Structure 1
């Protein structure tokens, strides 16, 4: 497979080569593709977790296990304050 990069991507590859971290353009592109693949794996994992949590929440709401929205928001605010005030 041959790929032609647009000038803005060629510039990024050139900057990375100039930094001395990579020996050639193939290493830069390989690293970028590997990072993209890892990012996609993380995204898919988070999406699956979110879908599972939404399903659990939906089932709980169908059983009548709900919390008033104002109370829930106050709990979230309280948790955030305690987490970031340390």
Structure 2
């Protein structure tokens, strides 16, 4: 599930660039703030983010009311996940 299944040159249409994917979930910390490179999870629409970071023993599920534009959503998600890691004293 968490092994990269995409050719490295294949462009993800939503991201507009190559991106690592397992079986149905994006891989790597780029999506989840300060998470380790072994993290994986899902970005569900514009209202929720769910991910696991096995290397740091962290799992996070976030759900917000309302939808936002993609840039605002990314900034919000990165701020919240960063705060989770800071609160736990890791990252």
**TM-score under structure 2 normalisation?**
0.30
Higher helix share: 1
Higher RCO (Cα < 8 Å, 6 or more apart): 2
Higher strand share: 2
Larger radius of gyration: 1
